[in-house]
A and B are shown apart, each in its own frame.
Chain A
Amino acid sequence: MIEVRGLTKRFGRIVAVDDLSFDVVPGRVTGFLGPNGSGKSTTMRCMLGLDRYERGSATFDGKQYSALAKPLHEVGSLLDAGYVHPGRTARNHLRWLAASNGIPRGRVEEVLQLVGLTDVAKRRVKGYSLGMRQRLGLAGVMLGDPHTVILDEPANGLDPEGIRWIRDILVHFAQLGKTVLVSSHLLSEMALMAQDLVVIGRGRLIEQCSVGDFIDRHSTKWVHVRSPQIDQLVAAIGSAGGKARRLDEPGAAANAAQVYDMPVESVGELAASHQFVLHELTVRTESLEDAFLTATAAEQEYRTQAVTP
């Protein structure tokens, strides 16, 4: 279990991480989300003792990272796939890592096999694509078979097969009871693999909860309905106290409407009572991405202008 308490880190006068506290529990994948510049990477570096922080603590099963004698056996981390010497081969990169924690050389071959780099292990890393470097970084994470895994944007540069592989492996880690903290900008991926979320903005905690609760709290739900008598149905919903809007923008489904403030059951019963034919009746929810943008709207460090066609 990871426990972060009151973590505060400054860069000069800028407070990068501000009294941040959260927990990451074993057996679940916890997504670490925040806009660019919100302090996710800095927090991870502080947790691992790489950046010095002013206040607070970060512990792994009750121990500070610096107190771990052979950390690779307990915490596997990948902060940036670029942290490799370009003139060294993948095998040698893993060998020095393994040697530092007394991990046998045979394990290096095992993890190379696991990440699919055995055939190119003799090549120097400068010839590697970003995706191959990510795989090498993940091999380093797995070297000591740690019970805690911390990954910063592990899917960066990976092809769709690689992204699915990352997702599967992190879910597998969680199923094995490991503690998994992963940051990613691919929110659709996060929605598929994470059970819990830690969302931060400007270095402060915005929310820690399950993915479902987060979406429920920060997104809009509506009933999507399609019917050949859509105009009559929209009118009936209005009369019954609901809010309905016929979709007529380009690309929208034909004879469709969005219904707010009325449960899906009531919409169905209303249609039945008027003997309207229904072609579709579904509850729709905004995505994790929409919920994330809503939750962090006030905490965006860098804002873009809307693009108009």
Chain B
Amino acid sequence: MILTLRSEWLKLRTVRVHFVLLILAVAFPVTVTVLVAIFGDDAETVQNHELAELISGTSVISVMLFSAVAAISLTSEFAHGTIRPTYAATPNRVRVMIAKLLVNSVVAAVLSLALVAICWVAGAAILESRDAEISLTMEDGSIGALGGLVVLAVILAWFAFGIGLIVRNSPATVSILLLWPLVAEGLIAVVFSLLGADGLFKWLPYQNCLAALAANPDADTLGRPGAWLWFGGISAALVVVGLAANLKRDA
């Protein structure tokens, strides 16, 4: 397994488009956080949880890009046919896919953690220079909001990987990744609303995970652990289905 992990790590870091996407993903929320901290009004009144929510809110785009990299790193193998030399070098397909998933999960977790840390340190330093009092605490939900982003990054990487395993096509996978949160869950919410079943909103996995990024999630959601377990469970199920399909299909 160590050899397969090393090989998959090499693959991920030796394609320039992965780097470009990851750098863009990290740069965007850092830039937004710094600009808001510098130019925002009433800086001295900004509280910990507000900074945390600013960071987690703007970083959702970043974790979506991390998930796109996870998906592309897989689907491009099918697009370019490199999956065949991959399986020829490591005939155990499950091992290959688990290694790929682990590498992408660790990359998503480490980068989102680094992203959160950079944004927090930069934002807090600037706000404190503008007379705000910022400190990272558990009590006001700041750590929960920031930690939730790291968890969401890993869950989205699994979600993307699962869809990629099933679809095996880069444009289709990335389209689903974007359409699911932006369109599909919105339409489902409208249907629930028309049916008068507003209580079902909390079962929309993506929206629920976004709600869990608030410092204090609303009471009518599944809550932080519930949202993570629900979306994480769905993503894990997609990965399992994808793995099973790939065991049966031709490479």
Contact = CB atoms under 8 A, between A and B. Distances in A.
Interface of A: 45, 48-52, 65-68, 71-72, 75, 77, 79-80, 82-89, 92, 95-97, 99-102, 140
Given A52-B248, A85-B15, A101 B89 contact: yes
A130 to B, nearest CB: 14
Contacts of A96: 7-8, 10-11, 14
Contacts of A75: 88
23 contacts: A50-B84, A50-B88, A50-B251, A51-B250, A66-B91, A72-B88, A75-B88, A80-B81, A80-B84, A83-B84, A84-B80, A84-B82, A85-B15, A88-B11, A88-B14, A95-B10, A96-B7, A96-B8, A96-B14, A97-B85, A97-B89, A99-B6, A102-B3
A82 B80 CA distance: 7
Interface centre among B76, B88, B249 (most CB of A within 10 A): B88
B103 to A, nearest CB: 12
A85 B3 contact: no
Give the contact-size bracket for chain B: 20 to 34
Interface in B171-208: none
Given A50-B250, A88-B14, A102-B3, 14 more contacts: A45-B84, A71-B90, A71-B91, A79-B84, A80-B81, A82-B80, A85-B80, A87-B16, A95-B14, A96-B7, A96-B11, A97-B85, A99-B6, A100-B86
Contact of B250 (A45, A83, A84): A45
B14 A89 contact: yes
A80 B251 CA distance: 13
A49 B7 contact: no
Interface string B8-20: 1011001111000
A72 B248 contact: no
Nearest to B11: A96
Contacts of B251: 45, 50-51
B216 interface: no
B4 interface: yes
B3 A99 contact: yes
B89 A87 contact: no
Given A52-B249, A102-B3, A87 B17 contact: yes
Interface centre among A48, A71, A75, A83 (most CB of B within 10 A): A83
A101 B90 CA distance: 8
A82 B81 contact: yes
B28 interface: no
Contact of A92 (B10, B92, B249): B10
A92 B15 CA distance: 9
Contact of A99 (B10, B17, B81, B249): B10
Contacts of A80: 81, 84
Nearest to B99: A100
Shortest beta-carbon contacts, A-B, top 9:
A100-B7, A92-B14, A83-B81, A50-B251, A96-B10, A100-B89, A99-B7, A51-B250, A66-B91
Nearest to A53: B250
Given A85-B15, A99-B3, A102-B3, A49 B89 contact: no
